């Protein structure tokens, strides 16, 4: 889910639209869970209720779109640097990109959880999981221990332990890190321009990660690889998008949302639902390849780029802030959808976006400077080539 450098190429504006909308709607979905009654609790349901809950209830499907986009940008960058690829430089870039945002997010989680400990300790026992669709679950998986902190810093959350504190969305970050690591190892194990010993080393490491980690999250990796396939499609002169294909892909996207909604009711079918969501999203992005975003211009284009730019920060910090909103304002009484409650909802959502933007300015925006500083330090120590 990490953000990429902003681009002004028209065909990549669709990527900005996808990243911006996904991060916004994931945040909006969690905030809806905090402020409003669950759909099943509504005694009387109107079409606007159904529409509102449907639009804000696609969180997991949107994460699959993020996987596709991550494969497009990160996997694509590995392929573009096929000849001059340096694993040490790549690993440093990925780790600085992640850590500059992750560390502040973990500190915010600790601060917010201290408030819950005073006002809503039942949150840690999973009492509110059904309403919030994330966070601590029943069964005692909540932890702020040093061991859990270390596991999250090593991107082993949900693989060898729980996420840190109440910040449930951190589960995806552990998955993505291993995608980032596995793909270049596998690719350069097949690179004949490298020496045989280095290729064998890459292959052994890729096999080890596959056996220990990827076998648990294989469906997510398949979706991530679909993003790499989208990148290859964008580089190919043979693959063409068209408005007609867009409508077909959009219809498949809507059908996959409906099917996934049914499949997600049974955990045995979660992988199938995830792959279906990822495939339909990848196909839609390919269909948009040759379609100029003519109606997305001016302030609207700036808004999508603004959201896309801070999408990684928004994803990692929004849930602790949503939980704080829930505990302080809505723990004792959630609302029905009305004009007034919708206005309050939009106000809270705007505040979350503003806070996330401020945090982006403080931390994520400084990633290139942190990376340059770390590169100089590692070069002085002889740990990184010049």
User: Using an 8 Å Cβ cutoff, are 217 and 274 in contact?
Assistant: no
pLDDT confidence band for 151 (50 / 70 / 90): very high
pLDDT of the residue at 385: 78
Report yes or no on 386 lying in a domain: no
Is the pLDDT reported for residue 184 higher than 80? Answer: yes
**Closest to 66 in 3D by CA, of 241, 316, 244, 367:** 316
Report yes or no on 334 lying in a domain: yes
**Closest to 275 in 3D by CA, of 289, 259, 290:** 259
H helical segments located in the chain: 13-35, 47-55, 59-70, 76-80, 87-119, 129-132, 146-153, 171-189, 196-209, 218-235, 243-263, 270-287, 299-309, 311-325, 339-362, 367-380
The span from the CA of 87 to the CA of 93, in Å, is: 10
* DSSP category for residue 123: G
Higher-confidence residue: 244 or 271? 271
By CB atoms closer than 10 A (0-12, 13-18, 19+), residue 118 is exposed
Is the pLDDT reported for residue 11 higher than 80? Answer: no
pLDDT tens digits, 305-331: 899 999 999 999 999 999 999 999 998
Report yes or no on 117 lying in a domain: yes
pLDDT tens digits, 133-146: 788 888 768 999 99
Q: pLDDT over 70 for what percent of the chain?
A: 96
Average pLDDT over residues 184-212: 90
**Coil, strand or helix: which one is 335?**
strand
Report yes or no on 1 lying in a domain: no
- Within 10 A of 174 (CB to CB), how many other CB atoms are there? 21
pLDDT of the residue at 1: 61
Report yes or no on 189 lying in a domain: yes
Average pLDDT over residues 263-274: 87
Listing DSSP states for 24-44 in one string gives HHHHHHHHHHHHB--GGG-SS
The count of structural domains within the chain is 1
CA 122 to chain centre: 27
Report yes or no on 193 lying in a domain: yes
pLDDT of the residue at 4: 46
Report yes or no on 3 lying in a domain: no
**Closest to 78 in 3D by CA, of 206, 197, 204:** 206
Listing DSSP states for 290-309 in one string gives T---TTS-THHHHHHHHHHH
Listing DSSP states for 109-122 in one string gives HHHHHHHHHHH-GG
Range of the domain at 42: 11-380
Enter the pTM of the model: 0.91
pLDDT confidence band for 7 (50 / 70 / 90): very low
Dihedral sign for Cα atoms in the order 113, 119, 122, 123: negative
Which of 51-60, 216-225, 259-268, 349-358 comes out lowest in average pLDDT? 259-268
pLDDT tens digits, 22-70: 999 999 999 999 999 988 888 889 999 999 999 998 888 999 999 999 9
Report yes or no on 288 lying in a domain: yes
Is the pLDDT reported for residue 259 higher than 90? Answer: no
Average pLDDT over residues 344-349: 96
């Amino acid at each position: 889910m990490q953000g990429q450098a902003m681009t002004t190429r028209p065909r990549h504006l669709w990527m900005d639209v996808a990243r911006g909308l996904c991060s916004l709607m994931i945040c909006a979905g969690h905030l809806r869970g905090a402020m409003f009654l669950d759909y099943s609790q509504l005694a009387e349901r109107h079409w606007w209720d159904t529409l509102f809950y449907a639009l804000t209830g696609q969180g997991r499907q949107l994460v699959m779109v993020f996987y596709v986009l991550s494969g497009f940008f990160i996997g694509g960058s590995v392929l573009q640097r096929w000849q001059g690829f340096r694993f040490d430089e790549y690993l440093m870039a990925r780790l600085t990109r992640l850590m500059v945002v992750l560390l502040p997010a973990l500190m915010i989680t600790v601060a917010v959880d201290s408030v819950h400990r005073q006002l809503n300790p039942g949150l840690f026992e999973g009492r509110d999981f059904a309403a919030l669709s994330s966070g601590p679950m029943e069964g005692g998986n909540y932890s702020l221990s040093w061991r859990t902190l270390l596991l999250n810093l090593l991107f082993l959350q949900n693989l060898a332990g729980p996420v840190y504190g109440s910040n449930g969305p951190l589960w995806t970050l552990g998955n993505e890190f291993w995608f980032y690591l596995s793909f270049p190892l596998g690719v350069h194990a097949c690179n004949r321009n490298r020496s045989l010993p280095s290729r064998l080393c890459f292959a052994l490491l890729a096999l080890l990660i596959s056996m220990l980690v990827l076998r648990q999250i294989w469906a997510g990796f398949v979706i991530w690889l679909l993003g790499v396939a989208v990148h290859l499609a964008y580089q190919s002169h043979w693959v063409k998008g068209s408005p007609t294909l867009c409508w077909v892909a959009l219809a498949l996207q809507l059908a996959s949302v409906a099917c996934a909604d049914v499949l997600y009711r049974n955990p045995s079918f979660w992988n199938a639902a995830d792959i279906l969501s990822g495939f339909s999203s990848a196909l839609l992005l390919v269909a948009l390849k040759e379609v100029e975003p003519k109606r997305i211009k001016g302030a609207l284009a700036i808004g999508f780029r603004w959201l896309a730019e801070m999408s990684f920060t928004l994803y990692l910090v929004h849930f602790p802030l949503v939980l704080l909103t829930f505990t302080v304002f809505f723990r004792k009484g959630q609302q029905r959808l009305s004009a007034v409650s919708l206005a309050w909802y939009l106000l809270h959502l705007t505040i979350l976006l503003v806070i996330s933007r401020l945090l982006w300015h403080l931390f994520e925006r400084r990633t290139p400077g942190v990376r340059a500083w770390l590169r100089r330090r590692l070069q002085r120590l002889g740990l990184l080539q010049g």
